[in-house]
């Protein structure tokens, strides 16, 4: 199920390794600590407008969003054409790509197994925010 989690205004500092990690031959990194990194500085730019949401389903797999991923959603970002948004359609939350074309609004999956949802007259659509980051386990 979906879960909204408020953002706590606490720092979350972790070690940052200097340099870049090669994708080939491994290199010892213990002597390369550069500074400490606060993930909030990179993931939560607008704490008062940001919430987390856990993904359920595979409709956005083409956008790199998988079942169980954690989304960082920013309500201060403009929900414009082509952005991935959290929308409430007739009270049901969904994560989809927003498309605006020829006066129509569509919520599109990034998975060919799911049809686009055209917003029709009488349906209630609320955009809760724009997906700013995806936290995905590997």
What is the pTM assigned to this prediction?
0.76
Phi, psi at 56, each rounded to 5°? -130, 120
100 in any annotated domain: yes
Domain span holding position 31: 10-43
Tens digit of each residue's pLDDT (9 = 90 or more) over 50-103: 999 999 999 999 999 999 999 999 999 999 999 999 999 999 999 999 999 888
| CATH number of the domain to which 111 belongs | 2.10.109.10
- Assign 14 a pLDDT band (cuts: 50, 70, 90): low
E-strand ranges in 32-116 read 33-38, 50-54, 70-74, 84-89, 92-101, 104-108
Asked whether residue 25 falls in the same domain as residue 63, the answer is: no
Asked whether residue 123 falls in the same domain as residue 60, the answer is: yes
- Would you please indicate which residues are annotated as catalytic (active-site) residues? 59, 96
Q: How many domains does the chain have?
A: 2
Asked whether residue 65 falls in the same domain as residue 130, the answer is: yes
Tens digit of each residue's pLDDT (9 = 90 or more) over 115-124: 999 999 999 9
Question: Percentage of the chain surpassing pLDDT 70?
Answer: 75
Asked whether residue 53 falls in the same domain as residue 38, the answer is: no
99 touches 108 (CB < 8 A): yes
């Amino acid at each position: 199920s979906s879960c909204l989690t408020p953002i706590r205004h606490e720092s979350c500092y972790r070690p940052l390794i200097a340099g870049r990690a090669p994708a080939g031959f491994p290199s010892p990194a213990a002597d390369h600590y550069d500074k400490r990194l606060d993930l909030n500085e990179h993931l939560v730019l607008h704490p008062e407008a940001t919430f987390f949401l856990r993904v359920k389903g595979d409709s956005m797999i083409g956008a790199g969003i998988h079942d169980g991923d954690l989304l960082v959603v920013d309500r201060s970002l403009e929900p414009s054409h082509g952005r991935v948004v959290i929308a409430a359609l007739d009270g049901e939350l969904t994560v989809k790509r927003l498309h605006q074309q020829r006066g129509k609004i569509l919520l599109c999956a990034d998975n060919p197994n799911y049809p686009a949802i055209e917003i029709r007259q009488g349906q209630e659509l609320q955009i809760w925010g724009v997906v700013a980051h995806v936290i995905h386990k590997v």
